[in-house]
Every structure is written in structure tokens, then in C-alpha cells.
Amino acid sequence: MTHKLSVFNPSNYPRGGHVVTPWQPIGEKTGISPDAFQLLTEHRQPIPAQVDQIDPSDHSLDTLAFVLPDNAAPGLEDYSQPTAAVFLESVEAPKAEKSSAAVAGPVGLPTRVEITNERLTVSFSLEPSQDKSKCNWFAGSAQSVRFGETELLDVWASRFIRSWEGHDLEKRCMQVDRLMIPMPAWANEPEQEVSLFNRPYQMLSYCTGPVRQACTIASVPFEYICVDPFHGGHTRLECSLYRTLIFYNSADYVIEELWLKGRDSKVKGESVALFFSARYFTFMYLGFDPVIYRYEQVPDWFALECPRSGIYPGYGFTIPGYGYGFATDVHARQLRYPHPEYPVGVKSYKTFSWELNPCKKARCLHLFQLGGPESIEHRTGHAWYEEIYKPLNKVELERGE
């Protein structure tokens, strides 16, 4: 039996690309197994697709990801008009191959997640330190972002300094260094601050397939103390920050989803989603006077760029145009440059920080660029619109023949 999946394009121009939708309602209605299906166009052409197990303990988060091969016709901004369709069929499950949702990490160090495609490699640290030094503040950060052999976080050292002199060991990006968790109105303090830069993460799942890689990590539990409004005592929750890193094939950006779960260790039951505000920290060389693109009327994205005409003082080398872009669906507060709390003042010109507005779940995009004809400003704004603000992620299931 064939089932029709209608796709909605909320833009006023034709679009194709990645589509993501929850798998559980589709699987329940069709009875199709996540490792025994195929997607087809109306002309019976196969479509790259996969089902990812985001959190092994919560199958409601399982997602179907596929690539819409043709440009979907323009639609309405409110997602009220379907503009394209694909067709879902059950197939015989492969006997020798494992499901793409295998709970296993990629090849590499057990304390690091390294995701790569033909364009970009991102090396993500799960531990506060990767060696025996006392530098234990790198947990939950990408310590390396490479285009081929060029290290984007320290382009100057990567391209112009002899390899034996090495890169700046402080370099990193995508780091959630702290959480602010609101306290109840009757509590003495407005919020509880939790440091995460020195807390290790554990890998929960790693999925790979023809569309993307998806890796979910969770911080080691920490304690969140609430005041009970009825009994006046304290309620203690064990909480973990969950982060899913999504890396599409051929992409030069990483999409990240964050949420915070808490559970009462004394009471057996389901976990609860909590409000939180995450602060990001980045240490990246973008010259001594980086160009910052941020617009107050659209607080959902910003971009950082090393000036294309920048010249490193005293050397005469032209620094290539490169940069970093960030986008989110929950608004980002003021970008702080340099980061005011960074302890080494002589290096503070490499530091940036910003905070998300309070939310229960956030979807963010980290875009990396090394040269190219388009500015990082244009690319980040466009990526925010298509991947965060108006994605092709509304899908409706219709029973076919």
C-alpha cells in the first residue's frame, strides 16, 4: 500500500531541500517499520530518506528526514496549502544491514564526536579536557572546524604559521557554557545558574544515513532546587541538557536542538521539560576588528566576518574572507564582544558570547564559511529563513492505494 505525504512550502518562490517530520504518528498510522520503507516521487523515483532515533528513551522524538528532489511550488506563509507530495511504501527489511538509528558513536576518540562530510569536519568535545592538563573548560564545544586542512577557528595559524607552532589551544565554538533556569515566583532568587563548560557529556545516540548525521548528547545530571509552594520545602530535580547535532550531507552548517529535562530522583515517573536560557561562548580568530552583522529588528540571527581586505599587522598577508553565522528560533540577546568575563585580557579580542531567550526547546544553526562569492551576512540570513523560520517541515499523511 502506498501512502501520500503532502509537503508545504511557506515561501513565495519554488523551493526544494531537506524536510523533517515526526516519525511516530506516521509509523502508527501506516504500520510501517522505520527500517523497512522507501520514499518515492510521483514518477516512482527513490528519494533519500532515513528515520533517526534522537533519544532512545523517548520514541516520540524519532524523526523522518528526506530530501525533496524537485522545487516545490510557491505556497502560503501560514502552511495552509500543500505544494508537493512524496509517497511512502513498505519494503522488506534488510537482513544484513543495521538500522540507521543504531546507538553507537562514530569512529574516533571516546571523549569526542567528530562529524564530517565532503566539505566540513567538526570535532566536538564531550569532556572538559582531552588531555592530562588542568585546562578543564572545553566540555560541549567544537574545538576544531576544518575545511580540508584549513582550521576555521584559527585561520591565521592554519595557513601562515609553521605547523610546529600550533594553533591557539583556547579555540572553540558552539559551546553552551552556562544555563540560567528560572526559579518560581515565591523563591528568594530569580534564577539558578549552572556552569556546563566543566561538566562532561555522554552520547545517547548516533544516526547516519543518506540524508544526514544526527548525534544526541546529554550533560551529566546536575541538581535543580525548586521551592514547593504548598509545603514550603525544597524539591530537588536531577536535570540534564540534551543537545542534538544535525549535520546534512554536503552542508557547511550544523543544526542544533536543545532541551532541558528534569526528574525527581525520589519519585519514579516521566521527566518534565523545564524552561531555560543557554549562553553560547566562542573563541575564534576573526582579526582585530571583526565585522559584526546584527539587526535589532530581527534578533534571530547574526554573522561574524573577518574583513576580506584585512592585513595581519607586520606580515603583509591578506586574510581570506571567512566567518561564522548563528541563527535561532527563540531570539538571541545582545552579542557581547569581547566576552566580558574572559580572564585573559590579551586574548579577549577573539571571544564572543550571547544568550538565548528563555524557552523549553531551541533550534539553532551554526554556519561556517571560508571564502566564496556570497557574504556571510547574506548566507546566514537566508539559512535562518529556510532552515529555522520557515522550513519545509510540515507534512500531512494521506492514505493512498
pLDDT of residue 109: 44
- Structure-block grid coordinates of residue 175: 559551546
Within 10 angstroms of residue 137's Cβ, the number of other Cβ atoms is 16
Pairing mode of beta strands 172-182, 191-195:
antiparallel
Q: What pTM does this model have?
A: 0.92
Check: CB of residue 274 under 8 Å from CB of residue 303. Answer: no
Check: CB of residue 245 under 8 Å from CB of residue 254. Answer: yes
Evaluate if residue 311 carries a pLDDT over 90.
no
Check: CB of residue 85 under 8 Å from CB of residue 75. Answer: no
> Which residue ranges make up each domain of the chain?
2-93+392-399, 112-370
- Please tell me if the domain spanning 2-93+392-399 has the same topology as the one spanning 112-370: no
Give the Cα separation of 355 and 227 in Å (integer): 25
Assign 149 a pLDDT band (cuts: 50, 70, 90).
confident
Assign 112 a pLDDT band (cuts: 50, 70, 90).
confident
DSSP state of 388: I
Assign 100 a pLDDT band (cuts: 50, 70, 90).
very low
pLDDT tens digits along 329-377: 999 999 999 999 998 889 999 999 999 999 999 999 999 999 888 899 9
Cβ burial 23-44 (10 Å sphere, 16+ → b, else e): bbebbeebebebeebebeeeee
Give the three-class secondary structure for 334: coil
Query: Strand runs (DSSP E) across 31-140, as ranges?
Result: 37-40, 46-47, 49-52, 63-72, 82-90, 112-116, 121-125
pLDDT of residue 385: 97
Evaluate if residue 104 carries a pLDDT over 50.
no
pLDDT tens digits along 209-267: 999 999 999 999 999 987 766 666 777 889 999 999 999 999 999 999 999 999 887 77
Evaluate if residue 30 carries a pLDDT over 90.
yes
Q: What is the mean pLDDT of the chain?
A: 88
Assign 318 a pLDDT band (cuts: 50, 70, 90).
low
- Structure-block grid coordinates of residue 310: 584585512
Phi then psi for residue 392, to 5 deg, are -85, 65
Place of cell 492514505: 399
Phi then psi for residue 345, to 5 deg, are -60, -35
Number of H helices, E strands in the chain: 3, 26
CATH number given to 2-93+392-399: 2.60.40.1180
DSSP state of 383: H
pLDDT of residue 264: 82
Residue-wise DSSP of 191-250: EEEEE-TTS-EEEEEEEE-SSEEEEEEEEPPEEEEEE-TTTSSEEEEEEEEEEEEEEETT
Check: CB of residue 64 under 8 Å from CB of residue 124. Answer: no
Give the Cα separation of 284 and 145 in Å (integer): 10
Burial of 122 (0-12, 13-18, 19+ CB in 10 A): buried
Assign 399 a pLDDT band (cuts: 50, 70, 90).
low
> How many residues comprise the chain?
401
Place of cell 606580515: 315
Give the Cα separation of 99 and 95 in Å (integer): 10
CATH number given to 112-370: 2.70.98
Give the Cα separation of 100 and 210 in Å (integer): 9
pLDDT of residue 119: 92
